[in-house]
Structure formats: C-alpha cells, structure tokens
Amino acid sequence: MLLRTVLACTVVCVVPAAATTSLQAKEQKAPSVPEQKAPAVLGIGDAAPSLHIAKWVKGQPVAAFEKGKTYVVEFWATWCGPCIAGFPHLSKLQKQYADKGVAIIGVTAEDPRNTLEAVEAMVKSKGDVMAYTIAWDDGRKTNEAYMKAAKQRGIPCAFIVDGNGRIAYIGHPMAMDEVLEKVVAGKHDIQQLAADAKLAREREEKAEQISNRLNKAANDKDWEGALAACDEYLALDAKQYGGAAAAKYQILALELKDMARANAWAQQALESKCKDSSEALHSIAWAIANPNSSIVERDAALAVKLAERAAVLTEEKDGDVLDTLARAWFIKGDPVKALEIQRKAVALDKRHSGPIQEYEEAVAKRG
C-alpha cells in the first residue's frame, strides 16, 4: 500500500521537469508598481515579482500590479486533480471580491503533460467553473520567479499580492480565505503573516517526519504504528492532511480486516475535527464506495453520510465529491438518487460521465 502517495496526492501534485516552449512573451507595460526582480528566496513580505505571460487565455490581461489592488497568482496544470478540484473555490472568491479590486490569475506553464492546447480546451469546457483570469506562462519565467524562488514544488499553489505589491500568502489556495479577507480589507499585518508562515514551515517539517514514520511502519507491516502516524497527521492539520483519514480506514479494513474498527473510525470522523475536512470525509466515503475496492462489508449508509457532509462543505460544486456521493447512493440501493447526483457531477466535470449508463440501466430494470 503506497500510503505516502495516498496522502500526498490528496493535497498537491508535484510539478514535473520543465519543458521548453517556443512561445514568445507578449507583455504589456503599465508600471503602476515598479517591476521587481525575484529575490533569491521569495517569502512573505517580499515584493511580488512581475508577471511574464505569453498568452492571456481567459479574462483581462494584468500588465502590472496596481497599487491598492489585491491579486492572487495561482499555479496549476491540466493534469493536476487537486488543481481541478479547486476551480470552483477560486471562481467563488473572484465573484465575492470582484467589486473590491481583486483579480485571481491562474498561471500554468508547459511541461511534459501540459500544453497550451490542453489548457485552452479545459478552460473552454469548464466555462463558469473557471470564472477568473487564466494565463499561459512565457516559457517558465513566471513559474521560476514565484514557485522556484519560493521553493514550492507542489501545485496548486497560490500567492496573494497585497495593495502594496507585497507577498502576503504562499500556499494551497483552499487555505487562503482568511488571509485574503484581511488583505482585501487592509487589516493584514505583513510581519505577523511572515511569522505565521514560519510556523507553517515548521508544521510541514513535522509532517515530513510523520510521513517517514508512516512509511516505515507500512513497510514493516506495523499497522498499529501506521495507524498512530495517521492520527498524528490528523492532529497536526485534519484539513491539510485529510487523506490520512482514508489511509487509516483502509489499514483497518484491508490490512487488519477489522471492519468494526474501520466503521467506528468512519463514524468518528463525522464527529471529530475531521467533520470540517471535505478531503477527509470524501476520501473515506470513496474508500467505502469504490467499486474496485476489495472491501466486502461495505456500510453504504455511512458512505452516504460521509459524502453528503463533504458535498455540503464543498457547496456541491466539486464533481469528484458528487461522483462519490452518487456511487454511495447506488451501492445503498437507490439508482434513481445516484443518477440524479451523477448528472450534477457531470455538469461540473464531464470526466464523471462514465457511470451514467450503469445507473440508467439500473433505473430501467427497477421499472
């Protein structure tokens, strides 16, 4: 069981090696804020580097950061599942702050699995699910000025630029709401944010240590030790490391063959700090409902509860969560409900169209 992969992929995707692009930059100069060179290490409080964009795929071009306005520069790719899951959230924020001078810019660059054609196709298919500005990097100039300079290897990754052109946040876009609200209101303290970022780095270091213990325990088949490591992950940050919830469930169900403990843990997740982590609840629900899983004793009703809570937390705008919720209803014996929800999932993301025929046939058989 690749527990490390299970945990990591629920949070970010690791960026592959860079590819060379032949596109030329088409920069527009409007020096509202003087052009800045990226520091050796980009951190909170530093001046935001200038954007170097070859093509503005969607939305209004941002030639330069204007004083008094807030920007979110978010890095993503078409192959990154967590990036795709975050589209609705970014769109919601753009709509929420549109009249307060906030511009969200999704920047993506060429790599072995990411092309301009693929980006344009995805942006077109997503429509209002990606209701913010999308930009194609000039080579990897913007990526290097931000991601490489800040030593960030995982996407999605967002940088908030405040009204003074300073970096106020570096991290996962799903965790930036509180900081963004303060920055927009002009109530943020750059020095305090820098101190908070230092604590976050320390938390990441702790997470790395937990990861090492978890993988060693798994390799040694020390499943109780692995369970303890999962608990450490969730105690550290249930939202950021929500994938540990599913890892714990799978250890109990598949490795220890203890369905009583597995189901008790799934129920506990609904009542503990995990109850506010859509990632944790969704991942457990899918572990139960996944048709390819070897779990025999499935608690379909529990899977429905978990997925329903995750759907509430994501405001029913996450196609992956709705896809899981539909499957949970299906194994619970309600193909009509499953079909209804699956169609909502497909409306958000056409990748989830596969089960439609299966559910339609089940509805027809039911008569």
Please, which residues have CB within 8 angstroms of residue 32's CB and are 6 or more apart in sequence? 64, 65, 66, 67
Which residues have C-beta within 8 Å of that of residue 181, sequence separation ≥ 6?
A: none
**pLDDT score, position 25:** 30
- In angstroms, rounded to a whole number, what is the distance separating the alpha carbons of residues 145 and 37? 8
Structure tokens at 354: 């596969």
Final residue belonging to a domain, choices 188, 206, 228 = 188
Q: What CATH number should be reported for the domain holding residue 274?
A: 1.25.40.10
Q: How many separate helices (H) and strands (E) can be counted in the chain?
A: 15, 8
What's the confidence (pLDDT) of residue 16?
Answer: 58
Would you state the pLDDT for residue 239? 85
Same domain assignment for residues 78 and 169: yes
Quick check: is 165 in a domain? yes
**Are residues 291 and 329 both part of a single domain?**
yes
147, 166, 188: which is the final residue of a domain?
A: 188
Q: Are 268 and 36 in contact (CB under 8 A)?
A: no
Note down the domain range covering 252. 198-366
Q: Please indicate, yes or no, whether residues 181 and 231 belong to a single structural domain of this protein.
A: no
**For residue 23, what pLDDT is reported?**
29
Tell me the C-alpha to C-alpha distance, in Å, between residue 16 and each of 28, 46, 110, 153, 280. 29, 26, 10, 9, 26
Task: Tell me if 269 sits within 8 A of 284, measured CB to CB.
Answer: yes
Residues 6+ away with beta carbon under 8 Å from 144: 38
Does 249 lie in the same domain as 183? no
Residue 69 lies in a domain: yes
> What was the pLDDT predicted at 210?
95
Asked, for residue 193, whether it belongs to a domain, the answer is: no
Q: For residues 22, 28, 32 and 35, what is the CA-based torsion angle, rounded to 10 degrees?
A: 30
Q: Which of 165, 188, 211 is where one domain is finished?
A: 188
Domain co-membership, 245 together with 331: yes
Cα–Cα nearest to 141, from 272, 279, 26: 26
Tell me how many domains the chain contains.
2
CA atoms within 13 A on the CB side of 338: 27
pLDDT means per 10 residues, the chain with 367 residues, are 41 56 32 48 93 97 96 98 96 96 97 96 97 97 96 95 96 94 95 88 90 95 96 90 92 95 95 91 95 89 97 96 97 97 95 95 91
Q: What pLDDT does 106 receive?
A: 98
My answer on whether 7 and 66 are in the same domain is yes
Whether pTM > 0.75 for this model: the answer is no
Starting at the edge strand that comes first in sequence, how are the strands of the sheet with 167-171 ordered?
Answer: 53-58, 133-137, 102-108, 70-75, 157-161, 167-171
Tell me whether residue 232 is in a domain: yes
